[in-house]
Structure 1
Amino acid sequence: MKKDTILITGATKGLGRALSYQLARKNRTLILIGRSEDLLLELARDLKAQGVTVFTYTVDLTEIEKLESLVQTILTDVGSVDAIINNAGFGLFEFATETLRATTTNMFQLNVLAMMELNCLLIPGLIKQTNKTHIINIGSLAGKIATPKATSYAATKHAVIGYSNALRLELKATNVAVTTVNLGPMKTSFFKTADESGYYEQAVEKIMLTPEKVATKIDQLLYTNKRELNLPLWMSIGSKLHAIFPRTLEFIMQGAFNKK
């Protein structure tokens, strides 16, 4: 089994936490980034008890100007990185006219700009590796099928997908693979922020993905050339139909689109 080092942002909750456990093999080094020092240290203690080598970094990724120093510290501490999983992000279900400029700015800073900056800072090291390396950007099926009350969030995830597609082409001749993971509703604390009423989460509870299932799928595609992972399958099919028949699908699915 290959010895490697994997960086995960947004590591303390939801998918990030599930990935931390799923990828915690004894010959791997995990670099975990999050905003909560207490949660990071708790997670690291548990993983270290299983024999995993873990480095933790408490940082607010929206402070873009601090990321260069962060990466320099990581490379000094760890040496090199083999895979980056850009998982940190948040959303808010509000109409466009009701969304504060500060909210949209923060969403773009975390969901898009921090991801782009981290990748930019780490790509030179990834290319220098003799082995296969990987960038995995967590997008969303909202970036393929936009719905009401998700204007800013959908815009950030459109940006993640567009950026990833261009980056993949730029790095095609290198050893760096680029994969976008686009997910439908997942049972995490995401909805506690996105929809404080709890209505949407209750409405889609039966079709929600679990972080553990998604983490397993991501583990399986590591260091492959898979372009995208879209889950669940039926929503992935819907996104492809939407690309061909947008007006028709929006008419058929308007009830589901308005569940927020």
Structure 2
Amino acid sequence: MTTGRLKNKNIVITGASSGIGLSIASLCAERGANLVLLARRLDILEQIKQDLEEHFSVNVQVYKLDVSNSEEVKAVFSKLLKEHSTIDVLVNNAGFGVFRAAHEVAMEDVKGMFDVNVVGLIACTTSVLPLMRQQRKGHIINIASQAGKIATPKSSVYSATKHAVLGYTNSLRMELSDFNVSVTAVNPGPIETDFHSIADESGTYVKSVERFILKPDFVARKVVDRMLTNTREINLPRWMNVGSILFALFPSLFERVGKKALNKK
């Protein structure tokens, strides 16, 4: 448990207004952490701030931030870094997906997914790296996906963004190993959040995986329990990660056998 480990630590969370981000924020507040919550909907963040401060007597700051806007990322992080001499944890949670066949994906959605899932994540991370290297401690947690390990039909662009996140995360981990800064990739399967209202407009995918779908609180607890530990990856559910190992070892066989099941989007 991390009850004592997180007390009075400063934790920054992107995409904190709903889903996993909100669940992570609530658990961190429960364990005594001070929070900086970032999302596009400031009105929702203000309500979350009020609720968490009332229930847990912690300090919560909120900022409106669209991570796809690099200039806005610079401005917001410049402001919050002036107010916090130490950042202990950055959780890069903001992200979205669109599930469509490759020839049907609009270029606007392609750019949008890369701008949020990849460029935005890198921009936020770059903003805290000088401080974490200087203070020689910290933890960067990147919410990736099992889709970054197993490419599936109708998620070509989304999978590409998550492959990019994992490549960046793995490189960053090696760069920061001498600075006592941990870097963790979180690779969940499908989660019961608003993500699917955009990604899966037809509801076909959600229906096909409903018996496997993860609850946001479950994923959040696994993440928060590993904060400020030297954890390389968190793979959820564990059995699904077996698929990614088989995919890496026997890609042709996996694609041939799993095509029908993986195509249910």
TM range, smaller chain: over 0.9
Give the distance between the partners of 2:260 and 2:166, measured in 1 at CA.
Answer: 26
Q: Is the 2:98–2:198 contact (alpha carbons within 8 Å) kept by the matching residues of 1?
A: yes
Pick aligned residue for 2:182 from 177, 186, 189: 177
1:126 aligns with 2:132: yes
Q: Is the 2:29–2:35 contact (alpha carbons within 8 Å) kept by the matching residues of 1?
A: yes
Q: Taking structure 2 as the reference length, what is the TM-score of the superposition?
A: 0.95
Counterpart in the other structure of 1:95: 101
How big is the shift at 1:25? 3.5
Following TM superposition, where does structure 1 have runs of at least 4 consecutive aligned residues deviating by more than 4 angstroms?
Answer: none
Cα distance change of structure 1 residues 26 and 179 upon mapping to structure 2, 3 Å threshold: closer
Give the distance between the partners of 1:205 and 1:167, measured in 2 at CA.
Answer: 34
- Residues 98-140 of structure 1, C-alpha deviation per residue, up to 9 Å, x if partnerless? 111111111111000111111111011112225x410000100
1:71 aligns with 2:73: no
Q: Is the 2:67–2:124 contact (alpha carbons within 8 Å) kept by the matching residues of 1?
A: no
- Residues 163-221 of structure 1, C-alpha deviation per residue, up to 9 Å, x if partnerless? 00000111111111000001110111100000111121111111011110111111111
How big is the shift at 1:80? 2.3
Q: Is the 2:66–2:73 contact (alpha carbons within 8 Å) kept by the matching residues of 1?
A: no
1:58 aligns with 2:64: yes
SS of aligned partner of 1:207: coil
Matches within 5 A, 1:180-259: 180-259=185-264
Give the distance between the partners of 1:176 and 1:208, measured in 2 at CA.
Answer: 32
Matches within 5 A, 1:3-152: 3-25=8-30, 27-50=32-55, 51-129=57-135, 132-152=137-157
Q: Is the 2:143–2:186 contact (alpha carbons within 8 Å) kept by the matching residues of 1?
A: yes
Give the distance between the partners of 1:15 and 1:24, measured in 2 at CA.
Answer: 14
How big is the shift at 1:18? 0.6
Cα distance change of structure 1 residues 256 and 66 upon mapping to structure 2, 3 Å threshold: same
Give the distance between the partners of 1:94 and 1:72, measured in 2 at CA.
Answer: 37
Amino acid at match of 2:232: R
SS of aligned partner of 2:192: coil
Give the distance between the partners of 1:184 and 1:211, measured in 2 at CA.
Answer: 11
- Worse-superposed segment, 39-48 or 247-256: 247-256
Amino acid at match of 1:103: D
Give the distance between the partners of 2:77 and 2:19, measured in 1 at CA.
Answer: 24
How big is the shift at 1:26? 6.1
Give the distance between the partners of 1:26 and 1:108, measured in 2 at CA.
Answer: 33
Give the distance between the partners of 1:27 and 1:239, measured in 2 at CA.
Answer: 36
Q: Is the 2:100–2:154 contact (alpha carbons within 8 Å) kept by the matching residues of 1?
A: yes
Give the distance between the partners of 2:10 and 2:193, measured in 1 at CA.
Answer: 25
Q: Is the 1:26–1:53 contact (alpha carbons within 8 Å) kept by the matching residues of 2?
A: no
Q: Report % sequence identity.
A: 42
Equivalent residue pairs, number: 259
Amino acid at match of 2:229: T
Q: Is the 1:26–1:52 contact (alpha carbons within 8 Å) kept by the matching residues of 2?
A: no
Q: What is the RMSD computed on CA atoms of the aligned residues? A: 1.2
- Worse-superposed segment, 104-113 or 73-82: 73-82
Where does the alignment leave 5 or more consecutive residues of structure 1 unmatched? Answer: none
Q: Is the 1:8–1:86 contact (alpha carbons within 8 Å) kept by the matching residues of 2?
A: yes
